[in-house]
Amino acid sequence: MSMRIKGLLAAGIVAAAGGAAFASTEEAWQEFRDRTEAACLALLPEGAAADISVDPFGSESYGIALLHVSEGPEAGAVMVCVMDKQGGAAELSGAFTPSVRLAPQAAD
């Protein structure tokens, strides 16, 4: 491989790493959390209100939030919201009502 190609590859790797470092600044993460919160709250049915807990970093591909519905027909329920980090499209789950609980697993 020629020195010129090696130099170009090295420059590309450095540029990519610099972009990754920039994306992980506190300001960038706060912008991500704000976008996730806004996208998820916008999906609530009309007349509904919720307290929202946004996972600070989400998963590799998605922003994730829990919405604790306080007003509206689903009051008392919890909903899960996911937002695609690349495109920004968000989806909201159905309501998990207070009567729905995960049963503990029996010890073997």
Assigned domain for 38 exists: no
- The total domain count for the chain is 1
Assigned domain for 40 exists: no
Contact 77, 69 (CB under 8 A): yes
If you average pLDDT over residues 71-91, what whole number do you get?
94
Assigned domain for 72 exists: yes
Assigned domain for 91 exists: yes
Q: Which two tokens stand for residue 41?
A: 């709250």
First-to-last C-alpha distance (Å) of the chain: 59
Q: Which two tokens stand for residue 73?
A: 């027909």
Assigned domain for 62 exists: yes
Position 73 pLDDT exceeds 60: yes
Assigned domain for 65 exists: yes
* pTM across the whole model: 0.69
Assigned domain for 55 exists: yes
Contact 77, 96 (CB under 8 A): yes
If you average pLDDT over residues 65-79, what whole number do you get?
92
Q: So what's the pLDDT on residue 83?
A: 98
Could you list the residue range(s) of the whole structural domain that residue 64 is in? 47-97
Assigned domain for 24 exists: no
Q: What number of other Cβ atoms are within 10 A of residue 18's Cβ?
A: 10
- Of residues 19 and 79, which shows the higher confidence score? 79
Query: How many angstroms separate the CA atoms of 93 and 65, rounded?
Result: 11
